[in-house]
């Protein structure tokens, strides 16, 4: 039994933890599937899924079972020794995605950092870029994480304020503008890093053909196409990888979040042998990455995506959800956009920001979170049912039209 009240938990958190985030004031103590419960027993539908980390739903019983069994048998060896889970995860992940090699990491940001190191090394050793001159192009509106190198190319001044000096060698271009990419490329460009749909940036879906154009331009100029699919990958948009919507394979892809079903920090960089083969001993590692525990959890999390047809579910339920959301007539809504179950409702300036709508939804049992001040992001677990979405839709309509 909980002896602390919601207010007590919040006071403890605010007192002891760096104020690096502004959560909604709901204290969750238990979860199952798409549902979570707060410390006072109130039940909610989770329409955020930890920013797409819970594609398989909360506490998926298969992943929990494997995690407990593996934790009891062998959790960590470090990379000083081999283990019997890492090779199997690597094989299964490569077979599922069609890539040749994988390098597992922990957080999504680390996967991005890893990809940046690999493409720079590739630029010097394979492409022949003069030492120290490698350039990487990224996009306005991007979100790739929070480390110093990654925020170097964050377009948000607030994210960079007070954290300089930064890393050199990055260039920003407008998102969804293939001509801008072509213009920005120089002989020293080694890679183009982009999100197939910008998630944190507000669920920005590029026009059809953009990803194919990027592929062609990168191939033509011998520039590596790096798709950050940490949010869009693993079924979220209705395909295993969002680049598949345009029949395209990037040279490098980063995955994270749902790679463990939200049970453990597991991320990965996938690429060809030519790219990941440039890394040798001591070039890059992290003690907990590729641990038997992480790999066993990720193997089961991937198998759940396949066995439960989560890509198809996301495609079908996403079409339904977006169509129903677009039909809501609200004085506050500018537009609703997305792909699969990665959805954003963009509010008009007179709506007074998205936060108050997220607060009102929370009061009605629907959990979600604003992004960029004026966008309500909706990313329920892919195991959500149509009935649960209908239940949420009633409340969303109520809040947007009330
Ligand atoms: N890249 C993308 C596209 C993301 O959406 C995120 C997280 O939201 C990250 C990278 C960073 O991942 P993590 O928070 O696991 O470090």
Q: What is the DSSP string of 66-91?
A: HHHHHHHH-----TTS--SSHHHHHH
- Nearest-Å Rg of the Cα atoms of the chain is 21
| Alpha helices (H) along 177-309 | 178-184, 210-220, 273-276, 292-307
Which residue in 108, 110, 109, 129 sits closest to 120, CA to CA?
129
Active site residue 228: yes
Q: Give the model confidence (pLDDT) of 198-232 as tens digits.
A: 999 999 999 999 999 999 999 999 999 999 999 99
Ligand 1 in contact with 195 (CB < 6 A)?
yes
Q: What is the CATH number of the domain that holds 34?
A: 3.90.1150.10
Q: Are residues 80 and 208 in the same domain?
A: yes
- What SS3 state is found at 265? coil
Together in a domain, 297 and 328: no
Residue pLDDT, tens place only, 364-379: 999 999 998 999 999 9
Same domain, 345 and 237: no
143 Cα–ligand 1 center, Å: 7
| Average pLDDT of the chain, as a whole number | 97
Same domain, 48 and 169: no
Distance from the alpha carbon of residue 201 to the mean position of ligand 1, in angstroms: 11
Could you tell me if 80 and 27 lie in one domain?
no
Tracing tokens 């922990």 back to the chain, one arrives at 106
Kindly state if the Cβ of 106 falls inside 6 Å of ligand 1.
no
pLDDT for 2: 55
Q: Which of residues 287, 307, 327 is at a domain's end?
A: 307
Ligand 1 atom closest to 229 (CA): 3
Q: Is the minimum distance from the CB of 97 to ligand 1 under 6 angstroms?
A: no
Among 110, 145, 193, 369, which is best to mutate for testing ligand 1, by the most ligand atoms less than 8 A from CB? 145
In this structure, the answer to whether residues 294 and 224 fall within a common structural domain is yes
Structure confidence by residue, pLDDT tens digits, 130-172: 999 999 999 999 999 999 999 999 999 999 999 999 999 999 9
Same domain, 194 and 278: yes
Helix or strand run (H / E) with residue 343 = strand 342-347
Nearest ligand 1 atom to the CA of 232 is 3
How high is the pLDDT of residue 3?
84
With bands split at pLDDT 50, 70 and 90, how would you rate the model's confidence at 92? very high
Q: What is the pLDDT of residues 12-48, one digit of tens each?
A: 999 999 999 889 999 999 999 999 999 999 999 999 9
Judge whether 74 lies within some domain: yes
Query: Is residue 221, in this structure, part of any structural domain at all?
Result: yes
Here the tokens at position 106 are: 């922990």
Tokens for 387, please give them: 């009935």
Q: Is the CB of 107 under 6 A from ligand 1?
A: yes
User: 139 with 279, same domain?
Assistant: yes
How many structural domains comprise the chain? 2
Provide the 3-class DSSP secondary structure of residue 393: helix
Full residue range of the structural domain in which residue 285 is found: 61-307
Show which of 281, 307, 333 is a domain's final residue: 307
Rounded average pLDDT over 260-286:
97
Residue 339 above 80 pLDDT? yes
pLDDT digits over 72-85, tens only? 999 999 999 999 99
Is 199 touching ligand 1 by the criterion CB < 6 Å? Answer: yes
Residue 1, in any domain of the structure: no
Is 257 an active-site residue? yes
Residue 385 pLDDT grade (very low, low, confident, very high; cuts 50, 70, 90): very high
| Under 8 Å between Cβ of 190 and 155 | no
Same domain, 279 and 313: no
Ligand 1 pocket, residue 108 CB under 6 Å: yes
- 197 Cα: distance to centroid of ligand 1 (angstroms): 13
Q: What letters, b where the CB count within 10 A reaches 16 and e where it falls short, cover 249-263?
A: ebbbbbbbbbbbbbb
CA distance 66 to 198: 32
The token duo for 121 is: 């090394």
Beta strand pairing status for 342-347 and 375-378?
antiparallel
Q: For residue 89, give the CATH number of its domain.
A: 3.40.640.10
8 Å CB contact between 371 and 39:
no
Q: Are 279 and 330 within one domain? A: no
Residues 81 and 137 in one domain: yes
Q: Are residues 290 and 242 in the same domain?
A: yes
Distance from residue 111's CA to the centre of ligand 1 (Å): 9
| 62 close to 382: Cβ distance less than 8 angstroms | no
- CA separation for the pair 104, 287 (Å, rounded): 11
Strand order in the sheet with 342-347: 333-339, 342-347, 375-378, 369-371
Of the three residues 259, 288, 307, the one that is the final residue of a domain is 307
Determine the distance from the C-alpha atom of residue 57 to the mean position of all C-alpha atoms in its chain, rounded to a whole number.
15
End-to-end alpha carbon distance in the chain:
37
The pLDDT value recorded for residue 1 is 54
127 assigned to active site: no
Are 75 and 220 a contacting pair, CB within 8 Å? Answer: no
């Amino acid at each position: 039994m909980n002896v602390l009240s919601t207010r007590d938990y919040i006071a403890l958190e605010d007192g002891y933890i760096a104020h690096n985030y502004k959560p909604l004031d709901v204290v969750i103590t238990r979860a199952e599937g798409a549902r979570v419960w707060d410390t006072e027993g109130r039940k909610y539908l989770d329409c955020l899924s930890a920013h797409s980390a819970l594609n398989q739903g909360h506490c998926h019983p298969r992943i929990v079972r494997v995690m407990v069994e593996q934790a009891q048998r062998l959790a960590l060896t470090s990379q000083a020794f081999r283990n019997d889970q890492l090779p199997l995860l690597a094989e299964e992940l490569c077979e599922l995605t069609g890539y040749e090699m994988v390098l597992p990491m922990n957080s999504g940001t680390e996967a991005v950092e890893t990809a940046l190191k690999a493409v720079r090394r590739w630029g010097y050793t394979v492409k022949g870029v003069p030492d120290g001159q490698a350039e990487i192009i990224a996009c306005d509106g991007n979100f790739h994480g929070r480390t110093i190198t990654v925020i170097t190319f964050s377009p948000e001044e607030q994210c960079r304020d007070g954290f300089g000096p930064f890393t050199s060698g990055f260039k920003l271009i407008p998102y969804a503008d293939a001509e801008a990419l072509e213009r920005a490329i120089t002989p020293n460009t080694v890679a183009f890093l982009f999100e197939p749909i910008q998630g944190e940036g507000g669920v920005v879906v590029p026009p059809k053909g953009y990803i194919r154009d990027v592929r062609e331009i990168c191939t033509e100029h011998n520039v590596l196409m790096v798709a950050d699919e940490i949010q869009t990958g693993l079924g979220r948009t209705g395909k295993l990888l969002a680049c598949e919507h345009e029949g395209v394979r990037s040279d490098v892809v980063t995955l994270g979040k749902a790679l463990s079903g939200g049970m453990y920090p597991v991320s990965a960089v996938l690429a060809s042998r030519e790219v990941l083969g440039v890394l040798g001993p001591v070039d890059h590692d992290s003690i907990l990455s590729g641990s038997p525990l992480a790999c066993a959890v990720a193997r089961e999390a991937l198998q759940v995506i396949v066995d439960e047809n989560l890509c198809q579910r996301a495609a079908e339920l996403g079409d339904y959800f977006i169509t129903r959301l677009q039909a809501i007539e609200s004085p506050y809504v500018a537009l609703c956009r997305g792909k699969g179950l990665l959805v954003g409702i963009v509010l008009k300036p007179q709506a007074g920001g998205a936060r108050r709508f997220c607060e009102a939804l929370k009061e009605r049992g629907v959990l979600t979170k604003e992004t960029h001040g004026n966008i309500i992001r909706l990313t329920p677990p892919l195991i959500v049912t149509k009935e649960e979405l209908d239940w949420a839709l009633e409340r969303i309509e109520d809040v947007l039209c009330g």
